[in-house]
Amino acid sequence: MGEGVDEAIAAFSRGEPVMVFDSAFREKETDLLWPVTAATPAVMRQLRQDCGGLLFLAIGDEIGEMFGLPWLQDIHTNDTLVAENPVLGHLITNDLQYDNRSAFTLSVNHRETYTGITDRDRSLTTQRFGELAGELLKSGAEGELAFTALGAEFRTPGHIPVCRESPGGLSTRQGHTELAVAIARLAGQVPATIGAEMLQPDGDGALSVKDARLYSQKYGIPMITGADLLKALDLE
């Protein structure tokens, strides 16, 4: 793999952050990412204060499948639900400028959180989700066993939006979710990451690549692009 990708994978394997710019042809955004199990309250605070965008939990498709987490886009186009809630038919996602599918699934809070919004609450939700997913993947849990385990600790809706990787990962979709999960897998981590989009200080646009690289240099955080990762995985 390229030197930059190797550096990013090594950092992630140590529980340290990386930055990923997706592409000038997609969202044109840089995400700041941590392994899900490294999501301490201090990490959540840095994501909230330094990024300005949405905090999100990106999970591998195998985790989504194990927990039976549906994509919201599929829920919102379910014929029965649309018949019962006609407004869903008016809110359909059919005009994304960068893709034809949204990665969002359910949002969650850990049951031991209060409102779920504080850095401590979001840390608990994120870390424990990653730990539970890792435990159940290792044990081969599936079906009702996995559903029950998830429900015993988590509720929805919550303050951690979850994005589920597309089946096939980067070979089928090159979004931030797939890029984030790919880094976690390559680093030998649970296939899940916590991250946020980096915005300009005034919040009116994505942080420029130039400014993102200055941030990465200031804090010693490896920064790569989607193209770097695709090349390293022979998926160009």
- CATH fold of the domain at 3-199+222-232: DHBP synthase (3.90.870)
Mean pLDDT of 91-120: 93
> For position 2, what pLDDT does the model report?
67
Burial class (CB in 10 A: 0-12, 13-18, 19+), 79: exposed
% of the chain with per-residue pLDDT over 90:
89
Q: Does 97 score more than 90 pLDDT?
A: no
Q: What is the pLDDT of residues 169-203, one digit of tens each?
A: 999 999 999 999 999 999 999 999 999 999 999 98
> For position 85, what pLDDT does the model report?
96
- Residue 19 contacts residue 31 (beta carbons within 8 Å): yes
Residue 1 banded pLDDT, cuts 50, 70, 90: low
Mean pLDDT of 101-124: 97
Mean pLDDT of 135-141: 97
**Which bin fits 168, alpha (ψ -120 to 50), beta or left (φ > 0)?**
left
Contacts of 194 (CB under 8 A, 6+ apart): 33, 34, 35, 36, 39, 43, 44, 47, 55, 56, 57, 58, 126
Residue 94 banded pLDDT, cuts 50, 70, 90: confident
Q: Does 101 score more than 90 pLDDT?
A: no
Q: Does 3 score more than 80 pLDDT?
A: no
In a 13 Å sphere around the CA of 18, the CA atoms on its Cβ side amount to 33
For 189-219, the DSSP string reads S-SEEEEEEEB-TTSSSBPPHHHHHHHHHHH
Least confident piece of the model among 97-101, 124-128, 132-136, 231-235: 97-101
Q: What is the pLDDT of residues 30-79, one digit of tens each?
A: 999 999 999 999 999 999 999 999 999 999 999 999 999 999 999 999 99
The better pLDDT of the pair 1, 20 is held by: 20
> For position 192, what pLDDT does the model report?
98
Q: What is the DSSP secondary structure assignment for residue 159, as one 8-state letter? A: E
CA distance 175 to 182: 11
Mean pLDDT of 12-38: 94
Q: What is the DSSP secondary structure assignment for residue 141, as one 8-state letter? A: -
